Chain A
Amino acid sequence: MAGRWARPAWGAVLVVAAVNALWRLDRADWKLDENVYAQAGWALWHGTPTGNPEHPPLGKALIGLGELVSGRSTFGVRVVPALAFLGAVVVLFAFGRRVGGWWTGIVAAGLFAALPRSLVVAGHAAADIRVDRYGLLEAVAGPLLIAALWCGWRWITGGGRVWAGAAGALLGFAACSKLTAAVAIVPVVVVGAALRWGRRRLAAEVALLVGVAVAAFLLPFAFYGADAFHAMGEMIRTQRDHARIGHLLVLDGSIWTRSPWWANARYQWDADGPLLTGALLAGLAAAVVSRRRPVVTYLLAVVLSLAGALALSPVALPHYRAIWTAPLVLLVAVGLVDLLQRSRPAPRVVGALVLAVLVGVGALTTARVATLGEGDYHRLARLVAADGVQVRRSEIYAESVAPYFPGSIELLAPFDLNPEPAQLLVLDPTLAAAIDPATIDRWRGWARRWGLRPHRVGRLEAWWAAR
């Protein structure tokens, strides 16, 4: 039963979701990886699939589709992730409603729509408010994954080839957007088979799910035409190399070349703080003791598999955790609504307090989205243009600046082998804090020789010469 307030509440969640997904979508600064995926996605649709061989093609292709429809801009790159975000809100509502009633659906969808998923590196906010407002692969793979989990749950509870096939297809597509999502097929199959044990046609349905997942993963490689197998080989090779070499990053006041197992938890703590992290943990604890044990087992297995797999990786970037946000938020919603429906007052008070904290944080986040201002990079580009500088070449250890100066090229550090004169040098402490001061001073020395002057724009150190 919906209850008197359920439908208006669901309507309010949809409005909040629309604001969080689309309002001032183009305002935040370009991310470095976002620019890479934008170029690779554009190339995929124009028959020249080059660049970024490390990741499978579907996420980049969907980001490129947004560019095809809306133009090559921050909005064009972010519009498909924004629509995927709205799709995830609807799926979470349907999933939550099915497993715990209307209010579970509303709470899950509402928390997903409103809670922040910001990135904090070296003490600086490296992205505005929520990572799924960017054209990043997790912003596409995450919604596909929660849709796959919903279909998987329909298969577990009702059976049938249609749901098994749909779960497999969406799992394959999620994995072909970001490889991390492939891990989820293990808990879906294992928990699904365990919960459906003894039913007719179980083996056939499992085989169908896995087979369709593999086919859906391979299908988008058709973008590469005859070079599809070469592209797959390159993807595996570059992933292996990245895992072997590691990734230079700043974490907990230290420089790491291979991130430790606790990196993702630390990113969450740095970005969300003790109040939000504590409330989410309390919601998770409530889910574990809730009466909805089968679905909690299913979702927990998925979240732990993803978090465990990423903890094993020597490359942990702060946006990776976005892949498990949706199932995590659904677990929290299941736990909190279960507490609120208990007959004893103590669990209800605890559930209400935790939910109040989460709703409060979500309301503040929505207010921040509504008033989102100009980022440091947009301001930098405006100041450089106002000084009459024609940027043809920039050297950066920072997020991308080339999109602000059409026709320019940018070189990402280390650029020591090729110190040709540039009109702009940008150092972002979220990356440059990992570089030793002597190297930074050497780069500054080049900038001085090229006649550039140092400026501080927000957190950025930028060098240019006013005309």
Chain B
Amino acid sequence: MTPRRHRVPPARRLRNLSTRAFVVSVLALLVLIVLLVAVVNPGHRNGPVRPAVPPVGLVRS
């Protein structure tokens, strides 16, 4: 009879993770999020700002 596999709770697994593994996981998640949002929402750029020339007779108050 095969012994029943003991499952480690996620909280303990999180605590037992080495700092390096945790940092790599966070960075990997960040990269994934950035890639996802960059693909889904590149935005729509109309062009550079072209400031209007100040009007003639401008009074500085």
Contacts and interface: CB of A to CB of B under 8 A. Distances in A.
Contact of A254 (B17, B47, B51, B57): B47
B11 A194 contact: yes
A289 B55 contact: no
A313 B50 CA distance: 26
B58 A441 contact: no
Contacts of A454: 54-59
A259 B43 contact: yes
B49 interface: yes
B5 interface: no
Interface in A361-417: 379-380, 383
A260 B60 contact: no
A253 B48 contact: yes
Contact of A256 (B30, B46, B59, B60): B46
A261 B38 contact: yes
Interface in B19-37: 19, 22-23, 26, 29-30, 33-34, 36-37
B61 A383 contact: yes
B9 interface: yes
Contacts, number: 118
A139 to B, nearest CB: 25
Contact of B49 (A255, A261, A289, A300): A255
B36 to A, nearest CB: 8
A441 B55 CA distance: 8
B33 to A, nearest CB: 5
* Chain A, interface SS category: mixed
A318 to B, nearest CB: 15
B33 A304 contact: yes
Most chain A Cβ neighbours within 10 Å, of B43, B51, B60:
B43
A195 B11 contact: yes
B40 A261 contact: yes
B3 interface: no
Contacts of B50: 436-437
A248 B14 CA distance: 44
A453 B41 CA distance: 43
- The size bracket of the interface on A is 35 or more
Contacts of B10: 194-195, 197
A46 to B, nearest CB: 38
B11 A254 contact: no
B37 A311 contact: yes
A258 B59 contact: no
Contacts of A289: 19, 22-23
B43 A314 contact: yes
Nearest to B22: A293
A125 interface: no
A183 to B, nearest CB: 13
B41 A313 contact: yes
Contact of B15 (A122, A197, A293): A293
Contacts of B49: 122, 250, 253-255, 433-434
Contact of A263 (B33, B34, B43, B46): B43
Contacts of A297: 14
B46 A254 contact: yes
A314 B15 CA distance: 38
B4 interface: no
A429 B49 CA distance: 11
Interface stretch (A55-63, A85-93, A455-463): A455-463
10 contacts: A196-B11, A256-B44, A256-B46, A257-B44, A258-B44, A289-B19, A308-B33, A312-B40, A444-B55, A461-B55
| Nearest 9 Cβ contacts at the A-B interface | A260-B43, A258-B44, A261-B37, A440-B52, A311-B37, A194-B10, A437-B52, A255-B46, A454-B55
